[in-house]
Amino acid sequence: MRICIPSKGPEPGDIVDERFGRAPYYLIHDTETGKNESYKNPAAEGMGGVGPRAAQFLLDHDVNVLVTARVGGNALGALKAGGITILLYDAAGSTVMDAINAYTTGGLREQ
Protein backbone atom coordinates (compact mmCIF):
# COMPACT_ATOMS: atom_id res chain seq x y z
CA MET A 1 0.00 0.00 0.00
CA ARG A 2 1.17 3.49 -0.82
CA ILE A 3 -0.20 6.09 1.57
CA CYS A 4 -0.07 9.80 0.78
CA ILE A 5 -0.13 12.52 3.42
CA PRO A 6 -0.26 16.18 2.32
CA SER A 7 2.18 18.10 4.49
CA LYS A 8 3.76 21.46 5.17
CA GLY A 9 7.30 20.10 4.84
CA PRO A 10 9.23 17.21 3.24
CA GLU A 11 10.03 15.29 6.45
CA PRO A 12 7.95 12.75 8.41
CA GLY A 13 8.31 15.07 11.41
CA ASP A 14 6.68 17.96 9.56
CA ILE A 15 3.12 19.07 10.19
CA VAL A 16 0.27 17.75 8.05
CA ASP A 17 -1.44 20.25 5.73
CA GLU A 18 -5.22 20.10 5.76
CA ARG A 19 -5.52 21.67 2.29
CA PHE A 20 -5.23 18.73 -0.06
CA GLY A 21 -4.75 20.65 -3.32
CA ARG A 22 -2.67 23.49 -1.91
CA ALA A 23 -0.39 21.51 0.40
CA PRO A 24 3.23 22.36 -0.43
CA TYR A 25 4.42 18.72 -0.08
CA TYR A 26 3.12 15.19 -0.48
CA LEU A 27 4.75 12.51 1.59
CA ILE A 28 4.21 8.98 0.32
CA HIS A 29 4.72 6.11 2.73
CA ASP A 30 5.08 2.57 1.41
CA THR A 31 3.69 0.12 3.98
CA GLU A 32 5.54 -2.85 2.47
CA THR A 33 9.03 -1.37 2.41
CA GLY A 34 8.44 1.12 5.24
CA LYS A 35 10.15 3.79 3.09
CA ASN A 36 9.04 7.39 2.70
CA GLU A 37 9.24 9.51 -0.43
CA SER A 38 8.52 13.21 -0.44
CA TYR A 39 7.54 15.41 -3.35
CA LYS A 40 6.97 19.09 -3.80
CA ASN A 41 3.40 19.73 -5.00
CA PRO A 42 3.91 21.17 -8.49
CA ALA A 43 0.45 22.76 -8.50
CA ALA A 44 0.44 24.24 -4.99
CA GLU A 45 0.59 27.79 -6.27
CA GLY A 46 -1.48 27.15 -9.40
CA MET A 47 -4.24 29.43 -10.62
CA GLY A 48 -7.04 26.95 -10.32
CA GLY A 49 -8.04 23.36 -10.52
CA VAL A 50 -5.46 22.49 -7.86
CA GLY A 51 -7.67 19.66 -6.57
CA PRO A 52 -7.85 17.71 -9.85
CA ARG A 53 -4.18 18.41 -10.50
CA ALA A 54 -3.24 17.03 -7.09
CA ALA A 55 -5.42 13.98 -7.81
CA GLN A 56 -3.52 13.44 -11.05
CA PHE A 57 -0.24 13.71 -9.17
CA LEU A 58 -1.32 10.99 -6.76
CA LEU A 59 -2.48 8.77 -9.63
CA ASP A 60 0.86 9.27 -11.40
CA HIS A 61 2.62 8.17 -8.23
CA ASP A 62 0.54 5.03 -7.73
CA VAL A 63 -0.97 6.12 -4.45
CA ASN A 64 -3.63 3.77 -2.99
CA VAL A 65 -4.72 5.71 0.09
CA LEU A 66 -4.90 9.42 0.85
CA VAL A 67 -4.93 10.40 4.52
CA THR A 68 -6.12 13.98 4.90
CA ALA A 69 -8.62 16.32 6.57
CA ARG A 70 -11.01 16.75 3.65
CA VAL A 71 -11.20 16.69 -0.11
CA GLY A 72 -13.34 19.02 -2.23
CA GLY A 73 -15.71 18.28 -5.11
CA ASN A 74 -13.77 17.72 -8.32
CA ALA A 75 -10.74 16.20 -6.63
CA LEU A 76 -13.00 13.80 -4.76
CA GLY A 77 -14.55 12.59 -8.02
CA ALA A 78 -11.13 12.20 -9.62
CA LEU A 79 -9.66 10.30 -6.68
CA LYS A 80 -12.64 7.96 -6.48
CA ALA A 81 -12.53 7.33 -10.24
CA GLY A 82 -8.84 6.61 -9.81
CA GLY A 83 -9.59 4.03 -7.12
CA ILE A 84 -7.84 5.96 -4.36
CA THR A 85 -9.31 5.54 -0.89
CA ILE A 86 -9.66 8.71 1.16
CA LEU A 87 -9.32 8.35 4.92
CA LEU A 88 -10.21 11.34 7.04
CA TYR A 89 -7.60 12.47 9.51
CA ASP A 90 -8.23 15.85 11.05
CA ALA A 91 -5.82 16.49 13.88
CA ALA A 92 -4.52 20.01 13.47
CA GLY A 93 -0.87 20.38 14.39
CA SER A 94 -0.01 16.70 14.23
CA THR A 95 2.87 15.36 12.16
CA VAL A 96 3.03 13.15 9.11
CA MET A 97 4.35 10.39 11.38
CA ASP A 98 1.25 10.73 13.59
CA ALA A 99 -0.93 10.38 10.50
CA ILE A 100 0.91 7.26 9.35
CA ASN A 101 0.53 5.77 12.84
CA ALA A 102 -3.18 6.61 12.85
CA TYR A 103 -3.51 4.80 9.52
CA THR A 104 -1.60 1.74 10.80
CA THR A 105 -3.67 1.60 13.98
CA GLY A 106 -6.82 1.68 11.86
CA GLY A 107 -10.21 3.19 12.57
CA LEU A 108 -9.97 6.20 10.26
CA ARG A 109 -13.28 7.04 8.61
CA GLU A 110 -13.57 6.87 4.84
CA GLN A 111 -14.78 9.93 2.88
Q: Footprint of another protein on this chain (CB under 8 A)?
A: 43, 46-53, 55-56, 59-60, 74, 77-78, 81-83
- In the complex, minimum distance from the CB of residue 97 to another protein, in angstroms, rounded to a whole number: 29
4 DSSP 8-state letter: E
- Residue closer to another protein by CB (options 61, 104) is 61
CA–CA separation, 22 and 60 (whole Å): 17
- Residue placing its CB nearer to another protein in the complex, 47 or 92: 47
CA distance 77 to 16: 22
Q: How far is the CB of 100 from another protein (least distance, A)?
A: 24
Which residues have C-beta within 8 Å of that of residue 104, sequence separation ≥ 6? 31
Residue 109: CB minimum distance to another protein, A:
23
User: Helix (H, G, I), strand (E, B), or coil: what is residue 109?
Assistant: strand
